[in-house]
């Protein structure tokens, strides 16, 4: 019961940036260039939720809270949700839903390509986020969902590539994603080392 | 208050003007931060009085202009110009100012002068963007024009907009407006003007030569590596009206300025 209340709380909290953007859009409070504001804000929220998703496992290990693991799917889906609005804003405001212009942008502007690929990587993760798919894919599910690592790296690159004179903001995300990936790398090395030790021990007894 | 400034005959567009609130709250003025909303929040920290513009280099009468000389010494006109940013957004702004040519003539450029270099105020204590550790701009901000571009009647020194004194975030007390070039050429809050015989190094060109050229003429046929320049978003826009319009050669001022670039390969001299 308490877990459910917390999950609803988190759901509303994650939706709040969207609700605030929608409210500002409806009241004309997005400034002179709502297109740009929407693009920047939804892109940034998507990256923030990606970082939060990556933070779940370490947080689980450090704090022992089982509840955070049950939030992971929702937070990950929110990363995808904001990425979709980001992409839709690009389609609507920047290229006027023209496939020709999209193709041209993808070829000529690598940061657009990189961002688009990041979104493509998140797409199967969102589709297979249900329990049903988790069961069907079994151990492949986990492997598939490691696609979030390249997606997060590409999202950082997408931001860095657009920095014109100040790379500070991009650096913050790069450091966060870098630290979270480094934590996983170290954990998997420890895990392998431990299983090697266990295997050796088993062989000797 | 410049309500009495006469309108610049034949120089103004009759397109819908971008509302004052948008013109003064959506700015690129990296000295105060890289976000469009930073200048309106922080530019008030800049002192604009007293203000001195030093004119030097290849001129017969080098010297200084003080704020009073600038505000009282020229016949002010209102000119409604299109402003096209290299980032593919655009505005229509009623400026108040005088032709740069009038200013330059007072200092008498010598026969050797071929280029003009401009410099923005660089005062760390009052410009928080210049204190950013991660900024890679080599302050002060510099821009430049060929002398014939500088002497062109469209090239304006603005001291106001919408009939009022220029707000700090728009480049008070004195800024350049070159309507047929991308916005970054229209340097703000000028403290130095130097006449030269060779092309000066400008800030954006130095930072990323493959992206920003010295000429920076608005040209839908030459794309910026990060943005297509074929279209622009005329501000303000809204969710229901993205206000995307095709970009015009020389920002619609081809008739007046195309002759300046006769015979030049504009994809090379971008």
Phi and psi torsions of B145, nearest 5°: -140, 155
Which pLDDT does position B190 carry in this prediction? 98
Peptide bond preceding A20 in cis form (omega within 30 of 0): no
Dump pLDDT digits (tens) for B140-195.
999 999 999 999 999 999 999 999 999 999 999 999 999 999 999 999 999 999 99
- For residue B122, give the H/E element and its range: none
Distances from the Cα of A21 to the Cα of A31, A37, A38, A85, B146, angstroms: 11, 9, 7, 11, 45
Q: What is the DSSP string of B24-62?
A: TTS---GGG-SSTTHHHHHGGGS--SS-EEEEEESBSS-
Q: Where are the domains of chain B?
A: 6-261
Which pLDDT does position B259 carry in this prediction? 97
- H helices of B121-202, where? 147-150
Residue in this structure with the two tokens 């030269």, named with its chain if needed: B196
Phi and psi torsions of B8, nearest 5°: -70, 105
Dump pLDDT digits (tens) for A82-118.
999 999 999 998 888 999 989 988 998 899 999 999 9
Answer whether A33 sits within 8 Å of B236, measured CB to CB. yes
Tell me which of B242, B245, B247 to substitute to probe the interface with A (most A C-beta atoms closer than 10 Å).
Answer: B242
Residue B138 pLDDT > 80, yes or no?
Answer: yes
B89 interaction partners in chain A (CB closer than 8 Å): 33, 36
Dump pLDDT digits (tens) for B1-55.
786 677 766 789 999 999 999 999 999 999 999 889 999 999 999 999 999 999 9
Answer whether B22 sits within 8 Å of A162, measured CB to CB. no
Which pLDDT does position A137 carry in this prediction? 93
CATH of region B6-261, choose from 3.40.1280.10, 3.90.1640.10, 3.40.720.10, 3.90.420.10: 3.90.420.10
Tell me which of A165, A168, A170, A171 to substitute to probe the interface with B (most B C-beta atoms closer than 10 Å).
Answer: A165
Answer whether B225 sits within 8 Å of A36, measured CB to CB. no
Burial zone of A39 (CB within 10 Å; 0-12 exposed, 13-18 middle, 19+ buried): buried
Dump pLDDT digits (tens) for A135-180.
999 999 999 999 999 999 999 999 999 887 778 889 999 999 999 9
B228 touches chain A (CB under 8 A): yes
Q: In this structure, what token pair is assigned to residue B215? A: 């000429």
Tell me which of A26, A30, A33 to substitute to probe the interface with B (most B C-beta atoms closer than 10 Å).
Answer: A33
Dump pLDDT digits (tens) for B48-83.
999 999 999 999 999 999 999 998 899 999 999 999
State the nearest Cα–Cα gap between B210 and chain A, in angstroms. Answer: 13
Q: Where are the domains of chain A?
A: 2-204
Positive or negative: CA dihedral A91, A92, A97, A100:
negative
Distances from the Cα of A182 to the Cα of A49, A62, A170, A177, B242, angstroms: 18, 15, 18, 8, 42
User: Residue B206's CB: how many other CB atoms inside 10 A?
Assistant: 12
């Amino acid at each position: 019961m308490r877990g459910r209340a917390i999950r609803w709380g988190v759901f509303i909290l994650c939706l709040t940036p969207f609700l605030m953007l929608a409210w500002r859009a409806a009241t004309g409070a997005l400034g002179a260039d709502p297109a740009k504001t929407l693009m920047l804000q939804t892109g940034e929220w998507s990256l923030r939720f990606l970082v939060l998703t990556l933070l779940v496992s370490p947080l689980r290990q450090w704090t022992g809270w089982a509840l955070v693991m049950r939030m992971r799917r929702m937070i990950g889906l929110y990363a995808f949700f904001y990425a979709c609005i980001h992409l839709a804003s690009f389609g609507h405001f920047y290229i006027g839903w023209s496939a020709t212009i999209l193709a041209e942008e993808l070829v000529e502007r690598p940061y657009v390509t990189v961002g688009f690929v990041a979104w493509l990587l998140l797409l199967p993760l969102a589709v297979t986020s249900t329990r049903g798919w988790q069961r069907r894919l079994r151990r492949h599910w986990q492997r598939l969902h490691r696609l979030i690592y390249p997606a997060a790296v590409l999202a950082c690159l997408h931001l860095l590539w657009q920095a014109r004179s100040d790379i500070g903001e991009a650096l913050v995300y790069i450091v966060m994603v870098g630290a979270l990936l480094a934590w996983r790398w170290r954990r998997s090395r420890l895990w392998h080392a431990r299983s090697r030790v266990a295997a050796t021990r088993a062989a000797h007894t | 208050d410049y309500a009495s400034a006469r309108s610049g005959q034949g120089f103004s567009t009759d397109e819908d003007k971008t509302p004052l609130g948008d013109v003064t709250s959506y700015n690129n003025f990296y000295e105060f931060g890289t976000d469009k909303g930073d200048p309106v929040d922080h530019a008030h920290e800049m002192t604009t009085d007293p203000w001195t513009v030093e004119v030097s280099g290849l001129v017969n009468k080098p010297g200084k202009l003080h704020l009073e000389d600038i505000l009282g010494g020229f016949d002010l006109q209102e000119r409604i110009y299109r402003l096209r940013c290299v980032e593919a957004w655009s505005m229509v702004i009623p400026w108040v100012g005088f032709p740069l040519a009038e200013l330059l003539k007072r200092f008498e450029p010598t026969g050797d002068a071929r280029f003009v270099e401009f410099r923005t105020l660089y005062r760390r204590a009052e410009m928080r963007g210049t204190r950013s550790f991660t900024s890679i701009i080599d302050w002060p901000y510099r821009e430049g024009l060929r002398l014939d571009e500088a002497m062109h009647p469209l090239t304006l020194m603005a001291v106001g907009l919408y009939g009022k004194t220029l707000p700090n975030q728009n480049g008070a007390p004195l800024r350049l407006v070159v309507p047929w070039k991308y916005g970054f050429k229209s340097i703000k809050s000028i403290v130095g003007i130097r006449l030269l015989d060779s092309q000066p190094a400008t800030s954006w060109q130095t930072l990323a030569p493959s992206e920003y050229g010295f000429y920076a003429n608005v040209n839908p046929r030459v794309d910026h590596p990060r943005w297509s320049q074929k279209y622009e978003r005329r501000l303000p826009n809204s969710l229901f009206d993205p206000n995307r319009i095709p970009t015009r050669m020389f920002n619609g001022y081809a008739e007046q300025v195309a002759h300046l670039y006769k015979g030049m390969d504009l994809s090379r001299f971008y």
